[in-house]
Chains A and B, each alone.
Chain A
Amino acid sequence: MMNGLERHAAFSAWVFLTPALLLIAVFFFLPVLAALLLSFTDFDIYALGDLNRLRFVGFNNYLHLLQSPLFWTAIGNTFYFVILGGPLSVAVSLGAALLVNARLTRFPGLFRTAFFLPVVTTLVAVAVVWRYLYHPRYGLLNYGLSLAGIEPIDWLGDPDWAMPAIILMAVWKNFGFNMIIFIAGLQNIPPQLYEAARIDGAQAWAQFRHITLPLLGPTFLFVALMTMIGYFQVFAEPYVMTQGGPANRTLSIVLLMYEEGFRWWNMGYASAAAFILFVLILAGTVLQLKLRRRASS
């Protein structure tokens, strides 16, 4: 039985919650559900003008997507970005965190701030900057490589180099964020563990392998998950730098969804693509959690 005070508290709580819950329900949960429904219809530019033209088409959109070579290209490109870019980004973040957090490093705050700066920049603006850095003739990157005797590369124009170029730029932009989380994780490791290891004569690598890595486990999982979820949604980099080209080699799933949905107004078809992305992210999340559980048991 609730007494008056508790009932009053519950009432107040719901009053405080209502605006947020209402907004999230109407502008997030409802659209997500609607997207699922939409993905089973042929919603296109005609339906946009006249809803009577809307028809239920079952799994047709999904079947068309799975039969479309362009969609498989987008899936392949997105996986390329996630599988190469994700681990690279996490590795660079961990490396930077270890360097900044090292005992010998003076002014760690200075390095931390500098490494973090790209994170707070506007993605579109720095993607524009990198477009020029990647210029085959005038770009700073090719100039730097030429000093090391490397022939100029047409970074964004060569189908084989465009995606690596986008990955490089994304890692530069993002690594500082995970670095901060890794630094926090490193500082949570009791220093006595390292002292004991040193007394036992363990070298730096052994300390890293047997103390740092295992104790960073939970941080690692969190960082890997967040990075993967974010990288699956890659959009602005190819939109600004390559428009999905050359030869569709940087077309991502979200870019395909945007083009289909908001340029050609094939909203049913685009919704199906969005849902496949969601399923992929969900599967990736479950897989990582499973792997982690197996590793720790």
Chain B
Amino acid sequence: MNRFMRSFFPALALYGLLIFGLLLTLTPLWWMIAASLMPSGEANSVPPRLWPSTVTFEHYTALFTRLDLARYLLNSALLAGAVTAISLFINSMAGYAFAKFRFQGRDPLFQGLLGALVIPAQVAMLPLFLLLKQFGLINTYWGVIVPGMASIFGIFLIRQYLLAIPDSLLDAARMDGAGEFRIYWSLVLPLCRPILVTLAIFTFMGAWNDFMWPLIVLTDSSLYTLPVALANLLGEHVQDTEMMMAGSVLTVLPVMLLFVVLQKYYIAGIMLGGMKG
């Protein structure tokens, strides 16, 4: 009895807190989905409803037929996809060079890049805007893509991963007379697969969720990404709660599914990034 009591109460408190936390964490997401399926006006009832009286997809239909949401979805997917593909290629080459080659100035250069991580991105934004304006890239897809094509964090992640891979593999390939680019392409990249998947998820999600830079660069509404379109929609349709929730669901859902499917890689990436401290 005594022993039972001693483990019963801590377990009760533990699960009480865990379930309380679960409710706090998931309720906003649950309500977002529920409200998006409610008939117009039902999300503004007293007391608030957590479940639609009848399930309707009219707000989703309205978003696609009247408000061009397909266009924004496509823009977001296109931009996030392009940034991911290009930056993966460029960052992996640089990470490989830092991990597996010896050359003068390598370590100070790498340290310098890492040190630059304390500079907030916003500091660069004003001149970057002027620079891209000179190149004629403002209000184009490339204006969003170009600044994301290389990232210090991406280089760091690849380098950390490659440091753990023995040089002997690469040396063997060199002995066989393989060219450097061939070694990178058909040996290093396949070896890096797990970390490339991780970095791809990070980059894709980062680009998909990014708000400030697309907001600055894209002025033509036909180029808007989902977050920019959503913030813009809020101005006109703040009263249409159910429709705004449908828009939020469509913005959040793709990245959330991506995470749920690939979370093993995502979590591994946070660990690798967090261990440098």
Residues of A within 8 A of B (CB): 6, 9-10, 12-17, 19-21, 23-24, 26-32, 34-35, 38, 96, 99-100, 102, 104-105, 111, 113-118, 120-126, 128-133, 135, 137-140, 143, 172, 176-177, 180-181, 184, 218-219, 221-223, 225, 229, 232-233, 235-236, 239-240, 254, 257-258, 261-262, 267, 270-271, 274-275, 277-278, 281-282, 285
CA distance A34 to B91 in the complex (A): 25
A-side interface mostly: helix
B146 interface residue (CB < 8 Å to A):
yes
Would A20 and B94 be within 8 Å (CB), given that A30-B127, A132-B35 are in contact?
A: yes
B252 adjacent to A140 (CB under 8 Å): no
Q: Across the interface, name the chain A residue whose C-beta is closest to B44.
A: A138
B129 interface residue (CB < 8 Å to A):
yes
CA distance A124 to B271 in the complex (A): 26
B43 adjacent to A27 (CB under 8 Å): no
B-side interface mostly: helix
Contacts A129-B32, A180-B271, A232-B120 given; 19 further ones with Cβ under 8 A?
A9-B101, A12-B101, A12-B180, A16-B94, A31-B126, A111-B22, A117-B256, A122-B252, A123-B209, A124-B251, A128-B244, A138-B46, A181-B270, A223-B274, A257-B126, A271-B123, A274-B122, A275-B123, A282-B118
B248 adjacent to A128 (CB under 8 Å): yes
A140 adjacent to B48 (CB under 8 Å): yes
B45 interface residue (CB < 8 Å to A):
yes
Residue among B120, B124, B266 making CB contact with A233, cutoff 8 Å: B120
Number of interface residues of B (CB under 8 A): 93
CA distance A126 to B252 in the complex (A): 8
Q: Across the interface, name the chain A residue whose C-beta is closest to B113.
A: A24
B94 adjacent to A17 (CB under 8 Å): yes
B277 adjacent to A221 (CB under 8 Å): yes
A117 adjacent to B26 (CB under 8 Å): yes
Q: Which residues of B have CB within 8 Å of A115?
A: 21-22, 25
A219 adjacent to B231 (CB under 8 Å): no
A114 adjacent to B27 (CB under 8 Å): no
7 tightest Cβ-Cβ pairs between the two chains A and B? A222-B277, A13-B101, A34-B127, A20-B94, A31-B124, A10-B103, A124-B227
10 examples of A-B residue contacts, CB within 8 angstroms: A19-B150, A20-B90, A32-B127, A34-B131, A99-B17, A122-B208, A124-B228, A129-B28, A181-B271, A261-B126
A88 to chain B, nearest CB (A): 14
A181 adjacent to B116 (CB under 8 Å): no
Q: Which chain B residues numbered 52 to 100 have a C-beta less than 8 Å away from chain A? A: 90-91, 93-94, 96-98
CA distance A122 to B131 in the complex (A): 28
Would A125 and B251 be within 8 Å (CB), given that A20-B155, A114-B26 are in contact?
A: yes
B192 interface residue (CB < 8 Å to A):
no
Q: Which chain B residues numbered 198 to 232 have a C-beta less than 8 Å away from chain A? A: 205, 208-209, 211-212, 216, 226-228, 230-231
